[in-house]
């Protein structure tokens, strides 16, 4: 492949289910490689398996890519819609002698395999010209000697003895193309220069190279990336928790954090762990991909997620929160709730690792009066504490409502009652939020504003008598 050719990558999922986290990473790698070089990133839906492919799965894949923030060039290509082109190439190969008609029946092939276990099928029709008037498949006339070498940018040179490969079927007897043929034809017609995919496809690549060579087409650059394993080092599965991209979205990880984290799963740029899209596009290269399987680490993901939430502008975090609520079917934020959350956003972002975690901290801003008090927080609201809240209410009535003045007023009330500030913070937290785990009480007061804060305090001080 010419080094001066514009870079064209592709992501080619099968629409048989949700977008797996491994598939999302493959799409990201292709996107980063193309976008970092001013190239094109194409999307092909490999829907030739009509029994398993569904429109719902296709929609889920597109939605997952859009959520992750990966844009593609042009319209998604349906592999099934190109079946006539695939068949045309198979017949062209038969005409030029690089493929041949095979009239072996299914029973004959099964009998041969039983008699020759662990041997590639050798069709008796490879060199025959006495063709009957009967349905036939078209098989590749593969080389019998030598080896096929895959020059892989991650795995190195992978050599496969040609005597280990059979003359694979290109076109079935019913006229439908096989996956192997369709992939090669589509990649060639789409101008794909770099095939970046999981190393579970490595065994297919030698066969696909033989088709390319038979057609005299240039080989793309191959890069087969190791799969993602769970934290226990075993192949990722449901037992490890979330494996679908939609599950990570539902857990509240922002798309920017997922892009950062997925980029580091199997690829590295020195010791850099936390970065944005611009750095990722500039840095990403095939030479940075390791050969060992990457391990999914939820603690590291939360660390990356917390960094990105903290770095996002406040209005973008608010927008992400609203998108998350819509995605999970929760009620949208009201204008008042948005205003209160924005008032405390700088504080809420400090400890948040996920969007639902931030929402938990923002609960005080989302609830309405009368505030429901949970059992643990209610223990802080004894008659003595409510009395201090009465004093605090009077002390802050005419305060400037700055954080410093509110804290000074609370400190004064605590001193007058001969207690530390913590003794008043507990009941104040309960009155404002109804729970014992919240941001700073003074940050809550500034976010809620004078009127709402005094009303919540009054609700509790009315119970003091």
Nearest CA to 87 among 75, 74, 103, 99? 99
- Are 416 and 355 in a shared domain? no
Nearest CA to 98 among 217, 219, 221, 218? 217
Residue 299 catalytic?
Answer: no
Cβ neighbours of 216 (radius 10 Å): 8
- Are 301 and 322 in a shared domain? no
The per-residue DSSP string of 118-140 comes to: TS----TTTT-----SS--EEEE
Collapsing DSSP to helix, strand or coil, 10 comes out as strand
What is the rounded CA–CA span in Å between residue 347 and residue 350? 5
Structural domain that includes position 444: 375-461
- Are 337 and 298 in a shared domain? no
254 in a domain, yes or no?
A: yes
The count of structural domains within the chain is 4
Q: Residues 6 or more apart from 117 whose CB is under 8 A from it? A: none
Nearest CA to 79 among 168, 190, 167? 190
pLDDT at 465: 53
Q: Which stretches of 162-227 are assigned E, i.e. beta strand? A: 169-171, 194-198, 221-225
- Are 395 and 451 in a shared domain? yes
Please identify, among 171, 191, 210, the residue that sits at the C-terminal boundary of a domain: 171
- Are 439 and 380 in a shared domain? yes
208 in a domain, yes or no?
A: no
pLDDT at 464: 59
215 in a domain, yes or no?
A: no
Whats the size of the chain, residue-wise?
A: 465
Q: Give 3-state DSSP helix, strand, coil % of the chain, rounded to 5.
A: 50, 10, 35
220 in a domain, yes or no?
A: no
CB-based contact 65:27 (threshold 8 Å): yes
What is the rounded CA–CA span in Å between residue 349 and residue 314? 9
196 in a domain, yes or no?
A: no
- Are 320 and 264 in a shared domain? no
Give the rounded distance of the alpha carbon of 16 from its chain centre: 17
* CATH number of the domain to which 404 belongs: 1.10.10.350
Please identify, among 171, 200, 235, the residue that sits at the C-terminal boundary of a domain: 171
Tokens describing residue 236: 């990722």
83, 238, 299, 379: the active-site residue: 238
Nearest CA to 225 among 15, 22, 14, 19? 22
200 in a domain, yes or no?
A: no
CB-based contact 431:457 (threshold 8 Å): yes
Between the two ends of the chain, the Cα-to-Cα distance in Å is 85
Q: If DSSP states are collapsed to H, E and C, what string results for 395-449?
A: HHCCCCCCHHHHHHHHHHHHHHCCCCHHHHHHHHHHHHHCCCCCCCHHHHHHHHH
- Are 119 and 44 in a shared domain? no
- Are 66 and 91 in a shared domain? no
Beta pairing, strands 77-78 & 99-102: unpaired
- Are 307 and 322 in a shared domain? no
- Are 61 and 92 in a shared domain? no
pLDDT at 1: 47
440 in a domain, yes or no?
A: yes
Q: What is the mean pLDDT of each run of 10 residues along the chain (465 residues)?
A: 77 93 97 98 94 91 96 97 98 98 96 93 95 97 97 97 96 96 98 97 96 98 95 81 88 96 96 97 97 94 97 96 92 95 94 95 94 92 91 91 94 94 94 93 95 94 70
- Are 305 and 340 in a shared domain? no
Please identify, among 272, 288, 311, the residue that sits at the C-terminal boundary of a domain: 311
Q: Is 379 annotated as a binding residue?
A: no
pLDDT at 234: 87
204 in a domain, yes or no?
A: no
pTM attached to this predicted model: 0.92
- Are 321 and 252 in a shared domain? no
Place of tokens 């007061």: 445
Place of tokens 């539902």: 250
* CATH number of the domain to which 142 belongs: 3.90.800.10
Cβ neighbours of 415 (radius 10 Å): 11
């Amino acid at each position: 492949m010419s080094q001066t050719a514009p870079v064209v990558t592709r992501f080619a999922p099968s629409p048989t289910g949700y977008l797996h986290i491994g598939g999302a990473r493959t799409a990201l790698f292709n996107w980063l490689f193309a976008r970092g070089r001013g190239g094109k990133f194409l999307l092909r839906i490999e829907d030739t398996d009509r029994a398993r492919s569904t429109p719902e799965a296709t929609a889920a894949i597109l939605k997952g890519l859009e959520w992750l923030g990966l844009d593609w060039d042009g319209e998604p290509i349906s592999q099934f819609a190109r079946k006539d082109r695939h068949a045309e190439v198979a017949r062209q190969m038969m005409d030029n002698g690089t493929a041949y008609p095979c009239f072996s029946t299914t029973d004959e092939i099964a009998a041969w395999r039983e008699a020759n276990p662990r041997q590639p099928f050798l069709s008796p029709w490879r060199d025959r010209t006495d063709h009957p008037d009967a349905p036939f498949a078209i098989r590749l006339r593969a080389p019998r000697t030598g080896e096929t070498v895959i020059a892989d940018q991650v795995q190195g040179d992978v050599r496969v003895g040609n005597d280990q490969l059979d003359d694979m079927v290109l076109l079935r007897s019913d006229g439908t193309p096989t996956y192997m043929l369709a992939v090669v034809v589509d990649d060639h017609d789409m101008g794909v220069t770099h095939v970046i995919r999981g190393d579970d496809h490595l065994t297919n690549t030698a066969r696909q190279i033989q088709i390319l060579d038979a057609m005299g087409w240039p080989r793309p650059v191959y890069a087969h990336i190791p799969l993602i394993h769970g934290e226990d080092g075993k192949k990722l599965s449901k037992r490890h928790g979330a494996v679908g991209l939609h599950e990570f979205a539902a857990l509240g990880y922002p798309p920017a954090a997922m892009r950062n984290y997925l980029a580091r799963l199997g690829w590295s740029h020195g010791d850099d762990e936390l970065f944005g899209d611009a750095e990722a596009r500039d840095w990403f290269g095939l030479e940075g991909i390791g050969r060992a399987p990457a391990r999914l680490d939820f603690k590291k993901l939360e660390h990356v997620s917390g960094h990105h939430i903290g770095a996002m502008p406040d209005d973008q975090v608010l927008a992400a929160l609203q998108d998350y609520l819509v995605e999970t079917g929760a009620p949208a934020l009201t204008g008042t709730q948005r205003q209160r959350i924005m008032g405390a956003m700088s504080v809420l972002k400090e400890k948040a690792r996920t969007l639902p975690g931030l929402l938990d901290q923002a609960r005080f801003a989302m609830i309405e009066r009368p505030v429901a008090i949970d059992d643990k927080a209610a223990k802080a609201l004894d008659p003595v504490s409510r009395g201090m809240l009465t004093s605090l209410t009077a002390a802050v009535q005419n305060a400037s409502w700055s954080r410093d003045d509110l804290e000074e007023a609370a400190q004064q009330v605590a001193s007058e009652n001969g207690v530390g500030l913590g003794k008043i913070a507990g009941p104040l937290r309960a009155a404002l939020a109804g729970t014992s785990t919240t941001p700073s009480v003074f940050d809550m007061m500034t976010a809620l504003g004078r009127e709402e804060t005094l009303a919540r305090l009054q609700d509790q001080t009315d119970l003091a008598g």
